[in-house]
Amino acid sequence: QVHLVESGGGSVQAGGSLRLSCAASGNTFNNYCMGWFRQVAGKEREGVAAIDSAGRTGYADSVKGRFTISQDNAENTLTLQMNSLKPEESGMYYCAAARWGIANLCRIARNVDAWGQGTLVTVSS
């Protein structure tokens, strides 16, 4: 059973940065493709970024150049660095695991096998 716990959410002003973390159960990164999703007002849950077991990454067009996903296999930690945040990006952010996927496919919600509980991000104007 994969166990995922997010942290690092909070409140920032527009243009600010946040760094989200996801603590995963042992060896998750060797067996799963990892992703970050977000749920913002009025929209479906969106795959923001993903990284597969080969280290390949994929991003939603709206965050390219501003967000960076990374993983530390030794520490079992997944990270999302978010820069130049916009108010419309406020919402819940979720860590997710999809078995045997490649980066772009891991940004599709129906492919997810395990979800974290979410962490709240608020970007003020």
Q: Which residues of the chain have pLDDT under 50?
A: none
Q: Which residues, listed in sequence order, are joined to residue 21 by a DSSP beta bridge?
A: 7, 79
pLDDT of residue 80: 98
pLDDT of residue 24: 94
pLDDT of residue 19: 98
Q: Are strands 32-39 and 91-99 parallel, antiparallel or unpaired?
A: antiparallel
**Both structure tokens of 9:** 């959410």
CB within 8 Å of 48: residues ≥ 6 apart: 35, 36, 37, 38, 59, 60, 63, 67, 80, 93, 107
**Both structure tokens of 80:** 């999302």
